[in-house]
């Protein structure tokens, strides 16, 4: 059996990649072989996954879903497609993290924030000028839908505190702390570590532009991972900027992926 | 009294509660998460929980930014 554009077909012994393209989609100019684009012909083996794409062509919804999946690393997608990640805060960290997780096709995202998009967010947060004034969770859901419309995104327009954290994130496998202020970071980390038996990936120390290489992911307590240098606080003269916030958000995404794959 | 904080041995005097320890270490109790002998201490207990010789603490202080 081989998979062509995510559909199973009987394997024909001796057939090559380009012979298969001739059969299924002769005008395809992108060939993805086992999750990786290739330019040269090769002999196929039983169990291979192949995708043929015509550059620039917008396929129908079913094929689109299959083509997005085609570039997911084999054995990764199968494990994370039914997982749920909770994102606490949809600012610089949360909006970038959500986009990375959507591109990975993590099955469900629960995203909570109470704020609206405003112009000073645009220096680092994944929103657009025409979204100013919208609730961040609604704007982010819309943006994620343009990247991967096949995900379950639950936008929760709520200020999080001890009284509602449990109900908000109870179905999530992993929680991401994406707040700005340290009091809120402390509250959610303490809550998750004491009330849930599930991991939380938090962030501390990502301001400014210097020493990006000092951003580390540290496992500081059971179920607690903290990304950042632990020290560099946002303050007057030490602002938050897209590069380091983006690095931290993507380190969060990568740690979350690693945790989901171990479950 | 000897305790361990974030892997380092320290010696403390006149420090009876977790709240006292945080003050001594110049940590803002609203911005930290404290683990005592591998159990999370909730903020509401900082003034209640007494420190004993040999206790092991992990204390994380969060800084702003996100």
Which chain A residues have a beta carbon less than 8 Å from that of B42?
A: 190, 194
Edge-first strand listing for the sheet containing A152-157: A152-157, A108-113, A84-88, A174-177, A200-203, A224-228, A216-221
Instruction: Give the number of A-B residue pairs with CB atoms closer than 8 Å.
Output: 86
Nearest Cα residue to A21 out of A51, A58, A59, A47: A51
Domain count, chain A: 2
- Same domain? For A21 and A127 the reply is no
Domain count, chain B: 1
Taking an 8 Å Cβ-Cβ cutoff, which residues of chain A contact chain B? 89, 91-94, 178-183, 185-186, 189-190, 193-194, 202-207, 220-222, 224, 226, 228, 230-235, 240, 245
Q: Is the torsion defined by CA of A111, A115, A116, A119 positive or negative?
A: negative
- Same domain? For A85 and A36 the reply is no
- Same domain? For A119 and A64 the reply is no
What domain range includes position A123? 77-262
Q: Answer yes or no: are the C-beta atoms of A87 and A188 closer than 8 Å.
A: no
Q: Give the residue from A50, A70, A90 where a domain finishes.
A: A70
Determine the distance in angstroms separating the CA of A145 from the nearest CA of chain B, rounded to an integer.
23
Q: Is B66 on the interface with A (CB under 8 A)?
A: yes
What confidence score (pLDDT) does residue A233 get? Answer: 94
- Same domain? For A128 and A235 the reply is yes
Q: A39: domain CATH number?
A: 3.10.20.30
- Same domain? For A104 and A208 the reply is yes
- Same domain? For A81 and A56 the reply is no
DSSP A225: E
Which chain A residues have a beta carbon less than 8 Å from that of B64?
A: 180-182, 207, 233-235
Mean pLDDT by 10 residues, chain A (263 residues): 90 94 94 92 94 89 84 86 97 98 97 98 98 98 96 97 97 98 98 97 97 96 97 94 98 98 96
Q: Do A230 and B31 touch (CB under 8 A)?
A: no
What confidence score (pLDDT) does residue A45 get? Answer: 95
What confidence score (pLDDT) does residue B14 get? Answer: 84
- Same domain? For A195 and A256 the reply is yes
Q: Answer yes or no: are the C-beta atoms of A235 and B64 closer than 8 Å.
A: yes
ipTM exceeds 0.85 = yes
What confidence score (pLDDT) does residue A26 get? Answer: 95
Rg of chain B taking only CA atoms, in angstroms: 11
Nearest Cα residue to B41 out of A175, A179, A221, A202: A221
Rounded to 10 deg, the angle between the A136-147 and A92-104 helix axes is 30
Residues in chain A: 263
Quick count: other Cβ atoms within 10 Å of Cβ B62? 29
What domain range includes position B53? 2-61
Cα maximum dimension of chain A: 67
What confidence score (pLDDT) does residue A139 get? Answer: 98
Position B32 confidence tier, pLDDT thresholds 50, 70, 90: very high
Determine the distance in angstroms separating the CA of A254 from the nearest CA of chain B, rounded to an integer.
17
Q: B19: domain CATH number?
A: 3.10.20.30
């Amino acid at each position: 059996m081989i998979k062509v554009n995510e559909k199973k077909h009987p394997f024909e012994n001796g057939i090559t990649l380009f012979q298969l393209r001739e059969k299924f989609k002769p005008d395809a100019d992108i060939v993805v072989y086992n999750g990786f684009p290739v330019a040269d012909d090769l002999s196929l083996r039983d169990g291979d996954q192949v995708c043929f794409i015509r550059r620039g062509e917008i396929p129908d919804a079913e094929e689109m879903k299959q083509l997005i999946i085609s570039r997911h690393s084999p054995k990764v997608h199968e494990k994370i497609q039914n997982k749920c990640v909770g994102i606490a805060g949809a600012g610089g960290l949360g909006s970038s993290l959500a986009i990375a997780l959507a591109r990975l096709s993590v099955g469900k995202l629960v995203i909570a924030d109470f704020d609206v998009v405003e112009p000073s967010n645009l220096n680092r947060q994944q929103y657009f000028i025409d979204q100013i004034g919208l609730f961040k969770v609604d704007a982010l859901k819309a943006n994620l839908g343009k990247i991967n419309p096949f995900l379950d995104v639950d936008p929760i327009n709520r200020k999080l505190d001890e009284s509602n954290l449990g109900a908000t994130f109870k179905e999530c496998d992993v929680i991401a702390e994406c707040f700005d202020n340290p009091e809120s970071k402390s509250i959610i980390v303490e809550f998750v570590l004491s009330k849930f038996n599930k991991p939380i990936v938090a962030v501390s120390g990502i301001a400014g532009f210097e020493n990006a290489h000092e951003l580390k992911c540290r496992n500081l307590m059971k179920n607690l991972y903290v990304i950042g240098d632990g020290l560099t606080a946002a303050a007057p003269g030490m602002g938050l900027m897209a590069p380091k916030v983006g690095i931290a958000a993507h380190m969060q995404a990568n740690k979350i992926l690693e945790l989901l794959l171990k479950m | 009294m000897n305790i361990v904080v974030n892997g380092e041995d320290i010696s403390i005097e006149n420090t009876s509660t977790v709240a006292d320890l945080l003050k001594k270490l110049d940590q803002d109790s609203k911005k930290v998460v404290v683990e005592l002998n591998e159990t999370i201490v909730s903020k509401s207990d900082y003034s209640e929980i007494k420190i004993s010789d040999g206790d092991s603490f992990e204390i994380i202080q969060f800084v702003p930014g996100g």
